[in-house]
Structure 1
Amino acid sequence: MISNDLELFIYLKELVIKTFLKRHNASKSVKDWSGNDIVVFQEDLFERVKTRVSEKWFYTYFKNDADKLPRVDMLNLLSTYVGFKNWSDFKTANSKVTKQKSKALQFYLLPIVLFTILVAFWFTNRSHTYTICFIDDIKGQPINSIRLDIKILNIEETPIYIKSDDNGCFTYTTDADYITFVVQSPYHKTDTIVKSIKNIDNGKVKLNTDDYALMLDYYSSKNLVDWKAHKANLEKIFSNDALIYQIFPNNIGIELYTKHEFISKLTTPTQSLKQMKILSKTYTDGKIVKLKFIVE
């Protein structure tokens, strides 16, 4: 806590600067004074009280925030400069002023301190509710036909296992500013996702379909109805004039597929389908007009 004498000295410095500025032009903030401003002040002080202060002294007690008082003889000179007999006279006349200023400062600082404490308390005790929904990357539709397995990886805690709901979503509340989770399903490729509360992106996560696993299930179970429905859905997703490129490794070339050729490839459980990876796709009016893939 600042002592009463140090508060008085701070107030004395304010009066010294005001007194100087009545006769000279300089910045109101002494911290912005140039070397020439300091020289002019030294001369003005000498003219009034017949004593100079060194530049080092000025930097120590005026340019910087002093944590101790100057010698009493210097305090007497500065007090005389602003119109008082000496330091004792200045203290007697201004002790009430500094006390009032101190009380006023406390009055204004108290709400700020309380507000800071409340904000800190809110930040340390708040919780976030994450709502994450899963979207099929190709179809652009919610994955709600099956329940997805979600493993939430908490720092210094055991993992939490939950499933997506009927809308293909899950909700999780935590104090953490981000969550990390692994999502799995029989017909989608396993992925590890990190979501921050700052860039939640509407909570939507796109998952890549494991077309090989899905087609293998249709073929092995002879599920012709669902296989045809899946194929018809793909027909709607791709534009008739879609440009579909297979990129070969090491940039040795490309192969162009028609819409129907590619859909046939997607709906037949071959080894190449198992190793297929979509590199990029472009949509226009909700339909895929360009797609690039690679067989790894």
Structure 2
Amino acid sequence: MTDLDLLHFEQLKKSVQAQYLTEYTPSFDEISKWKGIDIIYFQEDLRKKAKGNISEKSFYTYFKSSPVTKLPRIDMLNLLSIYAGFDSWYDFKKQNLFVGELLKDEEDLSESDLKELEKTVSASVNLEENQENTVSTVKTEPVLSDLQKSDIDNQSVEEIPQNNEVTENKRFTPAKKSYQRTAWIAASSVFVILLGLLGFKDEIFQKTYTYHFTDADRNQGVQSDIEIKVIKENESPILYRIKPGEKFVYASKDKAIKMQISSAVYENLEVNRNLENAPKEETIELKPDDYKMALYYFSIKDIKGENSEQLIQQKRKQLENLISNAAVITQVYDSDIYGLEALDKEDYITLVTTPTTSLKNLNVIEMKKDNKGKIVSIKFKISNNENNP
């Protein structure tokens, strides 16, 4: 990397900004001043025109500060160059040379150097193999000796007389060994049984409980995934994910169970059960959350057709009634440079009622309601889904 590369990157940022301004009107013309909703719309346009994406973290790292002190990776440089109307990062630099700059053909040079390096390594490996083969082909002459020659054909064999007493003792040895083996097998069997009882004591004494989930308003099975956290004292929570229509089967020897149930479209619910007298099978009702329903609808639907504008206005009114005018709304970023950003009610409703790819990654971290059911606080985050860092 050279200082000229950093200057070229500053040029590229201006070109990207100019390209976006030809079709859109963000809150500020200067790209370094763009905020959450502007960044989301820019990401959507980048996916559409350059078939790639950069995360909020990368945007804040490379676009919020100027001049930058390091370059992004080459794949991100190529992506931004394509968005600005060039074939690649190399093509962008080639068409935006500074006075007196000689741009080396980096791509051809790198390929040529790589081939030369492969030839050198290949020649080195062949040389080492030839040397090893030369060493291994040195023959060693066998040394013959007459010192070990012997003729056993004429040697006499001395017969050893049998001891009758030893023979007699051998008759009783098999019976003794048979008794010892029987006793050893019996003791081993008892040990194995005791070990099995100890190893499977949880399975022997535990009970199995089955939970079904239904929609409280529609009296039918839930229509979205459910997350269940089983809370145990002095232990980390255990997370289970249940698909629509599935039941939750839980085996335990505990006397009680505590479950925290959450979903994309239902209100959070905490369930506490005393398992000593609890039924083996139970149905739990989940109450739909209008706010979550509205977000979920826009996250999975691509609203098109004649009634699209009417549907969007309908959902906007629904959210306007649910959210307090004085609500504190905060977006959280994965960035050391820019961690939090406040949004007003109208901007937030516009964000969540505009079907974009980024909306599918929106997660509500925290939401609070007052005693009248109005939402007074929302903290959310759009997860990093960057294909090109």
TM-score (norm 1): 0.35
